[in-house]
A and B are shown apart, each in its own frame.
Chain A
Amino acid sequence: MANGEVEILYVEDDDADVELTLIALEEFRIANAIHVARDGVEALDFLFSRGPHSNRSFSLPKFVLLDLKLPKISGLEVLQAIRNDERTRTVPVVVLTSSKEQVDMIDSYKLGVNSYIQKPVDFEQFQKTIRQLGLYWLVVNQAPPMYSPSTA
């Protein structure tokens, strides 16, 4: 883990959910490398190194953990923005949502989400899911390389 590099960009507005998720991710010991954005605007600002995060050197996280129900701009809009920009198009996005609605899932996939996970209510299940998720996307999966115009 390189210093300053973010492993996970976690976009979630509910702090209780944030807390539970971070507890579940504890075993990966990457607490310092998880950036939590509390809304879609902050998420994009961070990702594109603009606004309050303009002095951050541009780098893609290993994956983006995205909740759909966000204030200001919705999770799907964030997803769309990510996919629309060349620089961020390749970053894996995993939607983590409490919705069981088909339409959310379909729309997400249409916009190019890599994975769609429903948050179980049961905490044990929740922990298990997060563990699997983390294992897969942090360890198993090969994250795409950083964007550079030459590799585009």
Chain B
Amino acid sequence: MDKITQVKSGVSYKRTRSHRLGILLLLSAVWFLHVATVLMAEQANEFQVKAAYLYNFGKFVEWPAGVPASQGDSFVVCVLGTDPFGSTLDSTFSNERIKGKNVLARRISKPADATSCRILFISSSESPRLKEILAAVDKAGVLTVSDIPQFSRVGGMIQFVVDGSKVRFEINRARAEGAGLTVSSELLKVASVVRVNP
């Protein structure tokens, strides 16, 4: 952030019109590129963190026995909608285990497929049919995570909130417990908000 501010203020001085314009354009381009890179890095960072958190959520949540039954040896983390993680997700999950099972990342497009996931990340692209998605996975023992605003108020379990440079999250405990999931107090401790109203 500071860098951006610094670069911004460094540009305000005048030269010959045409030269000045050219240099201004060049500098602006460089600046934009830099900002874009930073932003992108930030963005990339943000989703790296979110991916890590997704993985970690799995360690602090207890699923009821037998759910989901049809997954076999893998712990499936699904992404519904536009995948904002990219390869980060896979690289985060590679060689990791949650609850003794290999972690698998799956991209799905249909809410109905989500019932086979343990953790479901709903991409912000799905924000219009959020209600539908939530209904589909209701009572299926799926931990719903998203960064759609108000997610935890409208029926989601964990909502990512970016606070400055930090990634925070809100947990709707009642929702999670309603689905049969037990959220560890350790996780609740570090949540920025814990909602107890479903």
Direct A–B contact present (CB less than 8 angstroms): no
